[in-house]
Structure 1
Amino acid sequence: MTTPPKSRLGPLPYLIFSSRWLQLPLYLGLIVAQAIYVVQFVRELWHLVDATLFGHVAPGTTESAETTIMLTVLGLIDVVMISNLLVMVIVGGYETFVSRLRLDGHPDQPEWLSHVNATVLKVKLAMAIIGISSIHLLATFIKAASLDPETIKWQVLLHLAFVVSALALAYIDRIMQPGDKPAH
């Protein structure tokens, strides 16, 4: 059995197809942004340890130690969730739009990467954004007594907009999947 000959692309289709590599600097930039988040995480973690173990509290702080710890931990969780979002965009976007990573059989290959496409990536990103927004909203509720009610209202509305958008994306993904319709 012979393999079919590879078809050669004309100059314009080759240029258009090759243009996907212009995204590489964008993904490399996101890796740099992730490194900055790692530095931010370590800095915040050090402030938490310093304030908790050594009692060094920032001057002018009126919050209780428990509230300060809780808000700092929420900030750390926020940094981790944003970093997770960056990983999804970097790995999933590169795999979907630029080139295959060829991780088949690698023990550390993320499970979700085997079935990633643009739609799945959008839904995963929307869910990550909701998680990040939830952390910010929780921090807002903890500090609610010192915030303007209008600010709280707009943060809640923005979070609800994220939730509705994610549900719409998930629904659209669901109805576009042929053969996955639930039985009546």
Structure 2
Amino acid sequence: MLKLEHFLEKVIFAGRWLLAPLYIGLLLALIPILYRFFHSFWHIMSHITTSTMSEITLQVLELLDTVLLGNLIILVLFAGYENFVSKIAIADGAEDRPHWMGHVDSSGMKIKLIGSLVAISVIELLKDFMQEGTFDANREGWRIGIHMTFVVSGVLFALMEMMADRHKSER
């Protein structure tokens, strides 16, 4: 019976590697994001003499949005892989290793994720409010409601983490 239990535990433990292809997929998802960034950047540069400052600002906000999305993918990729699959040993001792790498647990990753979503959401709202033309109050109301949901969720996640940390330190 102990041999069966040991075998099951080995299989379950090895099962974490089933997540590895998902992280490879996230890495590959950076390719269209790179394309989109440089396509937008080229558009800004090729229309710089005919664009208004408002149009340039909107286009730069689009670039920021794209960068934040890329950062979010890298955060989830590194932290998720290290938390659930394996340590990235090749990064040990690397000069340019991100300082947070190896220190972000799943709850910290959730807080960083929600923080990134709030930042992306606020950029999208800012772009909407800066655009000229028709204003759809119903649509913008929903977008503001969703943004506030992200904000409140982030605050609640942070409070739960504080309470959990306080509970751990009292033991």
TM-score surpassing 0.5? yes
Q: Is there any run of 5+ residues in structure 1 with no aligned partner, and where?
A: 1-8, 56-63
Query: Partners of 1:40 and 1:106 in 2: how far apart?
Result: 30
Aligned-partner residue type, residue 17 of structure 1? F
State how many pairs are aligned: 163
> How far did 1:68 drift?
1.6
* Counterpart check, 1:136 vs 2:124: yes
Query: Partners of 1:165 and 1:144 in 2: how far apart?
Result: 31
Q: Is there any run of 5+ residues in structure 2 with no aligned partner, and where?
A: none
Query: Which one of 37, 53, 65 corresponds to residue 41 of structure 1?
Result: 37
> How far did 1:109 drift?
1.4
Specify which structure has the higher proportion of helix.
2
> How far did 1:120 drift?
0.7
**Is the 8 Å Cα contact of residues 44 and 72 (structure 1) preserved in structure 2?**
yes
**2:87 corresponding residue in structure 1:** 100
**1:14 corresponding residue in structure 2:** 10
> How far did 1:80 drift?
0.2
Matches within 5 A, 1:5-154: 10-53=6-49, 55=50, 65-102=52-89, 103-143=91-131, 145-154=133-142
> How far did 1:29 drift?
0.6
**Is the 8 Å Cα contact of residues 123 and 170 (structure 1) preserved in structure 2?**
yes
Q: Decide which moves more: 132-141 or 104-113.
A: 104-113
Identity of aligned residues (%): 34
**TM-score of the two chains, using structure 1 as the length reference:** 0.84
**2:155 corresponding residue in structure 1:** 167
**Is the 8 Å Cα contact of residues 144 and 152 (structure 1) preserved in structure 2?**
no
Q: Decide which moves more: 107-116 or 11-20.
A: 107-116
| SS of aligned partner of 2:9 | helix
Aligned-partner residue type, residue 179 of structure 1? S
**Is the 8 Å Cα contact of residues 82 and 88 (structure 2) preserved in structure 1?**
yes
**TM-score of the two chains, using structure 2 as the length reference:** 0.90
